[in-house]
C-alpha cells in the first residue's frame, strides 16, 4: 500500500508513520523542512516531501493509493488565532483533498476531533457519530467546517472517505503541556501534581491504538464511494480525569501526591465527553 501522509512529524502522525512503516507500507510524508523530526523514533524513514501543505501539487502524490491527512493547527493546549485555524484546518484540508483527487487518489483518511460535537456532549452520553456538530471553541469549529467540506467533496466526486474523530488520545511524544505528559513528568520527578476537580468524564485512548485504527482505515473494505464513513477513535469507556490520573500515578510509581481541586475546571468543555463506538480496542 502506498500512502501519502500529512502531519507525519506530529504526535499522532509520528505513531501512524511508525506503524505504517512497520507494516511494510510505502509512505510519502510531508514535512515543512529537513529539520522537522518525528516525536518518536522510526523503524526506518519514509520518502520525505519537504514543502508546505499549500504548495503541494498533484505530481507530489502520484502513484499513491491513500491520502492520510492528519496535519492540524490549534490542538489544545497549542492555541492558534482564527485566521491560522481557517488557513490550516479549512483551506489546507480543501487544498489537499483537491490535489489528491487530481493525482488519482480515491481513498481519503482524515482525522477530526471530538471538539466538533461541542454542546452536543450535554445532550448525548455517549455521543453518536450522528450527533449535531455544535462546537464550543474555534478549533472545533474549524475542524467541523473541514469535515463538512471534505464529506461533500467525497459525495460529489464519488470518493472513499474515512473520517475518524479523535477523543482523548495520550502517550509518548505528546506535547509536554498536555495532561498526560505533565502528569508523567511530575510522577517521574517525585513532584506533586495539581489538577482540576478531576470530575470530568473523558474517553482516553492510547496513541498506539489510535494510530492503528487510522492505519486500518487505509484498507478496510466497508468504506463505499460517495458515502462518507465517520468513526470515533475512542474506547467507548467513560473514565473520570481523576481516576485516570490515579491509575497512571500508580503505574508510574509516583512518590508525590495528586492535588485535585488546585486548578480551575475549564468552562469551554462539557463535563462528559465519551464516544459511542462499534469496535473493540485491544
Domain boundaries, the chain: 2-170+203-233, 179-202+237-273
Mean pLDDT lowest for which of 29-38, 56-65, 114-123? 29-38
Q: Provide CB contacts within 8 A for 160, sequence distance 6+.
A: 106, 107, 108, 154, 223, 224, 225
What pLDDT band is residue 282 in, cutting at 50, 70 and 90? very low
Q: What is the mean pLDDT of residues 18-39?
A: 95
Mean pLDDT lowest for which of 30-44, 142-156, 267-281? 267-281
Calpha distance 244→251 (Å, rounded)? 11
| Backbone dihedral angles phi then psi of residue 136, each to the nearest 5 degrees | -105, -5
Cell of 154: 467525497
| Backbone dihedral angles phi then psi of residue 69, each to the nearest 5 degrees | -110, 105
Same CATH fold assignment for domains 2-170+203-233 and 179-202+237-273: no
Q: Which residue matches cell numbers 492520510?
A: 68
134 or 32: whose pLDDT is higher?
A: 134
Check residue 52 and give its pLDDT. 94
Proportion of the chain above pLDDT 90, given as a percent:
94
CATH among 1.10.3720.10, 3.30.465.10, 3.40.50.300, 3.90.25.10 for 179-202+237-273 = 3.90.25.10
CATH among 1.10.10.10, 3.40.50.2000, 3.40.718.10, 3.40.50.720 for 2-170+203-233 = 3.40.50.720
Calpha distance 61→41 (Å, rounded)? 25
- Position 213 pLDDT exceeds 80: yes
Q: How far is CA 168 from CA 26, 150, 241, in A?
A: 29, 23, 10
Check residue 279 and give its pLDDT. 64
Q: What is the mean pLDDT of residues 231-241?
A: 98
pLDDT, mean over the chain: 96
Check residue 34 and give its pLDDT. 83
Check residue 280 and give its pLDDT. 55
What pLDDT band is residue 266 in, cutting at 50, 70 and 90? confident
Give the residue from 232, 67, 89 showing the smallest Cα distance to 154: 67
Calpha distance 8→17 (Å, rounded)? 6
- Position 227 pLDDT exceeds 80: yes
Mean pLDDT lowest for which of 63-72, 167-176, 200-209, 261-270? 261-270
Q: What is the mean pLDDT of residues 159-174?
A: 98
Give the residue from 32, 35, 40, 31 showing the smallest Cα distance to 12: 40
Amino acid at each position: 500500500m502506498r500512502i501519502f501522509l500529512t502531519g507525519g512529524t506530529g504526535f499522532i502522525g509520528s505513531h501512524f508513520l511508525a506503524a505504517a512503516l512497520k507494516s511494510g507500507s510505502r509512505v510519502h510524508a510531508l514535512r515543512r523542512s529537513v529539520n522537522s523530526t518525528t516525536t518518536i523514533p522510526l523503524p526506518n524513514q519514509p520518502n520525505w516531501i519537504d514543502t508546505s501543505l499549500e504548495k503541494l501539487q498533484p505530481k507530489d502524490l502520484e502513484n499513491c493509493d491513500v491520502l492520510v491527512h492528519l496535519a492540524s493547527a490549534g490542538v489544545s493546549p497549542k492555541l492558534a488565532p482564527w485566521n491560522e485555524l481557517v488557513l490550516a484546518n479549512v483551506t489546507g484540508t480543501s487544498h489537499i483533498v483537491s490535489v489528491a483527487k487530481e493525482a488519482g487518489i480515491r481513498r481519503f483518511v482524515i482525522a477530526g476531533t471530538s471538539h466538533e460535537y461541542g454542546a452536543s456532549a450535554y445532550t448525548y452520553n455517549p455521543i453518536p457519530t450522528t450527533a449535531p456538530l455544535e462546537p464550543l471553541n474555534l478549533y472545533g469549529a474549524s475542524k467541523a467546517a473541514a469535515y463538512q467540506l471534505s464529506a461533500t467533496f467525497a459525495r460529489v466526486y464519488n470518493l472513499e472517505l474515512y473520517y475518524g474523530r479523535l477523543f482523548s488520545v495520550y502517550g509518548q511524544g505528546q506535547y509536554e503541556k498536555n495532561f498526560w505528559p505533565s502528569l508523567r513528568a511530575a510522577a517521574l520527578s517525585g513532584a506533586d501534581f495539581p489538577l482540576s476537580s478531576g470530575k470530568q468524564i473523558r474517553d482516553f485512548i492510547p496513541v498506539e491504538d489510535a494510530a492503528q485504527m487510522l492505519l486500518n482505515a487505509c484498507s478496510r473494505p466497508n468504506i463505499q464511494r460517495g458515502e462518507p464513513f465517520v468513526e470515533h477513535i475512542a474506547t467507548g469507556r467513560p473514565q473520570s480525569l481523576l481516576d485516570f490520573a490515579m491509575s497512571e500515578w500508580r503505574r508510574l510509581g509516583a512518590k508525590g501526591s495528586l492535588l485535585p481541586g488546585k486548578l480551575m475546571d475549564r468552562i469551554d468543555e462539557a463535563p462528559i465527553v465519551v464516544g459511542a463506538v462499534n469496535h473493540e480496542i485491544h
